[in-house]
Amino acid sequence: MARSADAPMKRPMENYLSAAVEIARESGALLAQLSKRPHEITYKRPSDLVTEADRRSEALIVEHLRNRFPKHAIVSEEGGGQKTGSDYCWYVDPLDGTTNFAHGFPVFCVSIGLAYRNEVVAGVVYDPMREELFTAERGLGAYLNQQRIHVSKHGSLSESLVATGFPPFLRDHELNIDLYYTFTRLTHGVRRAGSAALDLCSVAAGRFEGFWELKLNPWDKAAGSLMVTEGGGRVTDLAGGPFELLGEAIFASNGLVHDQMLGVFSKHDAQTLGERPKAAAPVSR
């Protein structure tokens, strides 16, 4: 049957995004329920936790994605994905903020991003504790609970609030400690909340002016990176080069403080770890 001339055109990613929203909400409800129970914790490596909730959330998400999009590839944090050779690949973090979750600190989320030939085209991040649903489609903006969001308009680093993260397997990496200390002095403060996906969404929503992390897996940043660019921000590596989904480092900002923060990164990167002076312990902000 031919489409009526008055029938609305479907957006290219609409089916994918609506499916991801439904799945993220279901997974988030599961996490909220499991957060009230004692947690069984195991370790992938020292300080790198995984809980029953990670595995159950991943199983739920991957099963739904396989059923709805059987030809799509899936890459998920706990290894439950599938390889298909498709140009479409879902990047799934079933519980971003596992350490927070395990300790009862209510900052965690579900993150689901869809990439086409390594370019993120749709994303969903759902925070079940605050019932905040972030969504984005490439070229169509970023939204929080169906309301359009934008990055902040602060253009001065000294008036900015920024965020970072520390991967558990790089605990002895002094570079980020030095950066944390430097930005604590240069800004209103540095936040380290423990969920990269939510930190990126906070940049997109104007809550943070910038966020950086030295090493993130693609499932940590797929959906969140799209939120930032669709919210009017800028995402690069720490040298200002193009953002690579399969790369390690990420730097996201409102765009206005981007060059100022790149200047700080460049000064630290110009020194070797051995030459870098020992920084005093950063003051909690």
pLDDT tens digits along 229-270: 999 999 999 999 999 999 989 999 999 999 999 999 998 864
Sequence-ordered alpha helix ranges (H) in the chain: 14-34, 52-68, 98-103, 174-186, 196-204, 218-230, 258-269
8 domain residue, yes or no? no
CATH (domain of 68): 3.30.540.10
Whether 88 and 168 share a structural domain: no
Check residue 2 and give its pLDDT.
Answer: 44
**Domain range for 241:** 157-269
Q: Is residue 199 part of a domain?
A: yes
Q: What is the pLDDT at residue 171?
A: 54
Which of 103, 119, 149 terminates a domain? The answer is 149
Check whether residue 235 and residue 257 sit in a common domain: yes
Measured from the Cβ of residue 157, the count of other Cβ atoms closer than 10 Å reads 21
The answer to whether residues 45 and 143 belong to one domain is yes
Is residue 141 situated within a structural domain?
A: yes
Same domain for 192 and 171: yes
97 and 202 share one domain: no
Pairing state of beta strands 189-191 and 161-164? parallel
The owner of tokens 């002895």 is 172
**How many degrees, rounded to 5, is the angle at CA 198 between CA 197 and CA 201?**
90
30 shares its domain with 87: yes
Residue 123: phi and psi, rounded to 5, are: -155, 150
Q: What is the residue type of 263?
A: G
- What global pTM score does this model have? 0.88
Q: Of 149, 171, 196, which residue sits at a domain end?
A: 149
Residues 197 and 220: beta-carbon distance below 8 Å: yes
Average confidence (pLDDT) over 128-152: 97
Q: Are strands 250-253 and 210-213 parallel, antiparallel or unpaired?
A: antiparallel
- C-alpha 280/C-alpha 264 separation (Å) is 18
Domain count, the chain: 2
Find the range with the poorest average confidence among 30-39, 100-109, 157-166, 240-249.
30-39
Question: Is 172 in the same domain as 131?
Answer: no
Query: Do residue 171 and residue 128 come from a single domain?
Result: no
What pLDDT is recorded for position 285?
38
| Beta carbons of 134 and 147 less than 8 angstroms apart | no
Q: Which residues contact 47 (CB under 8 A, 6 or more apart)?
A: 168, 169, 171
Same domain, 184 and 259: yes
